[in-house]
Structure formats: structure tokens, C-alpha cells
């Protein structure tokens, strides 16, 4: 995996093979950040990276100038790897070792972008729980977005707050926003 753009552009990151992760592909990540680049000034936003795994998405935000990044993962080795990599690059990434559902139930952190990359084997109920916790607990800043990465075999288009989705190979990014009333 590599960092696509920004200060650390082209830097390769090699995660230990024993981490229970499926990093977002470089092609999908580049496409996602092309979308986000047109919507946000990365220096001015806060990011919550859920199911952070290797920290792939967090590093990309940090490389582009985002200084308020919180990465959440329940696996100790993933959190340790993110901390080690962020320290080596001098990136400002706060890590939290927690079950994401428990974290979302209790956190007061509001973010401009919440990125969730749960296991592709998640059920629709599990995806719905993420949505409910984010929106019911008011965790998005005004004009914020929740992005959920999932398999092309999962359809979240009937979910509340769904705005649109983009497919890249076997991965889909579904975008959810607060509807203005």
C-alpha cells in the first residue's frame, strides 16, 4: 500500500502480514480522495476513521494536511501499527483501541468526515447500526459526510441518509449526509 498524494506521496507502507485487515486498494483510495478533494480543504477538517485497520485512510488524510484525525480499531496490533507508522512520519493521528459500536455509543467527537471500513461480511443490520449511531448521536459536523466502504454485493441505497455511491472494482463507497429539512 502507498500514500497517493500530499507530503508523503509515493511512500510505501508495509503492514505486518498477521494483521486481520483488508486495506482499501490504491485505485479505490485515489478515486475516493479525488471526490473529497473537490468538497473539502483537508487542512480545515476533522476525520474519524472507523475500523481503521492499517491506518491506510488516516495516513492519506494526514499526508494531505488534516491534523484532526482519530483512528478507531479494536485490534491491539492494528492500533500499535498505526501509532508506529504515524510516529515515523510525524503524523498527528490519535488512535483509540475500542470496539467501534461501543465507541460510537459513547463518543462526543463530531467530525467533518467519518470513514467506516467494516468487514465486508457485515450484515445489513450491522451497517444500519453504524448509521443509527452516527446520525442519532449527532456525530457529523454541519455539511459532514459518513462514507462506508463495503462489498459490491451489499446495497445500502435504501438506508436513511443515503446520498450516492461509487463503485471501484469489488469495493463500493456509499455516502451518507444529514438531510436538510
Does residue 41 belong to any structural domain of this protein? no
What is the rounded average pLDDT of the residues 46-70?
Answer: 96
Does residue 170 belong to any structural domain of this protein? yes
- Total-model pTM: 0.94
Does residue 122 belong to any structural domain of this protein? yes
Domain assignment of residue 80, given as a range: 26-34+57-176
Does residue 2 belong to any structural domain of this protein? no
- The string of pLDDT tens digits covering residues 144-167 is 999 999 999 999 999 999 999 999
Distance of alpha carbon 62 from alpha carbon 18, whole angstroms: 25
Domain count, the chain: 1
Does residue 7 belong to any structural domain of this protein? no
> What does the pLDDT read at residue 124?
95
Nearest to 115 by CA among 49, 38, 45, 46: 49
Distance of alpha carbon 168 from alpha carbon 60, whole angstroms: 18
Does residue 14 belong to any structural domain of this protein? no
Question: What three-state secondary structure class fits 122?
Answer: coil
Q: Which residues, at least 6 apart from 86, have a Cβ–Cβ distance to it below 8 Å?
A: 55, 58, 59, 62, 92, 93, 95
CATH classification at residue 169 = 3.40.50.150
Identify the band that residue 2 occupies on the pLDDT scale cut at 50, 70 and 90: confident
Query: Which stretch of DSSP H or E encloses residue 29?
Result: helix 26-37
Does residue 101 belong to any structural domain of this protein? yes
Does residue 1 belong to any structural domain of this protein? no
Amino acid at each position: 500500500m502507498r500514500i497517493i498524494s500530499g507530503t508523503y506521496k509515493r511512500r510505501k507502507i508495509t503492514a505486518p502480514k498477521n494483521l486481520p485487515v483488508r486495506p482499501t486498494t490504491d485505485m479505490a483510495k485515489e478515486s475516493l480522495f479525488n471526490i473529497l478533494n473537490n468538497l473539502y480543504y483537508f487542512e480545515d477538517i476533522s476525520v474519524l476513521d472507523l475500523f481503521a485497520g492499517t491506518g491506510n485512510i488516516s495516513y492519506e488524510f494526514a499526508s494531505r494536511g488534516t491534523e484532526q484525525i482519530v483512528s478507531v480499531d479494536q485490534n491491539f496490533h492494528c492500533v500499535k501499527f498505526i501509532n508506529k507508522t504515524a510516529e515515523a512520519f510525524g503524523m498527528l493521528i490519535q488512535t483509540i483501541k475500542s470496539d467501534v459500536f461501543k465507541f460510537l455509543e459513547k463518543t462526543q467527537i463530531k467530525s467533518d468526515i467519518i470513514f467506516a471500513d467494516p468487514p465486508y461480511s457485515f450484515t445489513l443490520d450491522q451497517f444500519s447500526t453504524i448509521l443509527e449511531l452516527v446520525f442519532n448521536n449527532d456525530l457529523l459536523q454541519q455539511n459532514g459526510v459518513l462514507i462506508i466502504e463495503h462489498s459490491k454485493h451489499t446495497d445500502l441505497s435504501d438506508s436513511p441518509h443515503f446520498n450516492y455511491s461509487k463503485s471501484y472494482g469489488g469495493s463500493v463507497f456509499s455516502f451518507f449526509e444529514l438531510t436538510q429539512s
